[in-house]
Amino acid sequence: MTIEEIERLDLSNSRFDHDTAARLLTDLMSGALDPDDFETVKTWVRQCYNRPSHAERVMHACDEILGTYGVEGIFNRGGWHVVASYCNTGYTYAPTVLYCHQEDEFMIASFGDYVEAMEEENEFA
């Protein structure tokens, strides 16, 4: 993930200044920063019976940095499998941090654009 991609995000809800938020996001997604360093992640993990995956913890740390409204899943057509997770900005087409489970990849994309692209490729079967 590049700084140019991070620049597409609306960081106005972040409790961090713009440069700090951009650096934290870049470090988190590159693996240079441990998501367990964030208080919201620590609190959430303590409440879980099974430890969430590294990617899930990264997404929750991104949610804290962005000041978004939680991490939500995008399910396959049958609703049985989560194919991606995203930080909910409250807007369908606002760029956000998205994690594709099948590709094991973090990206900057809107929830709406991702779903439309997957439908065009018939990936939700």
List pLDDT tens digits, range 75-107: 887 778 889 999 999 999 999 999 999 899 999
Directed axis angle between helix 39-46 and helix 54-66, to 10°?
130
The contacts of residue 117 (CB under 8 Å, 6+ apart) are none
Residue 92 forms part of a structural domain: yes
Structurally, the chain folds into a number of domains equal to 1
pLDDT of residue 123: 62
Q: Is it the case that residue 2 has pLDDT exceeding 80? A: no
pLDDT of residue 84: 94
Determine the structural domain holding residue 87 and report its residue range: 3-120
Residue 51 forms part of a structural domain: yes
pLDDT of residue 39: 93
List pLDDT tens digits, range 35-64: 999 999 999 999 999 999 999 999 999 999
Residue 115 forms part of a structural domain: yes
Residue 61 forms part of a structural domain: yes
pLDDT of residue 79: 72
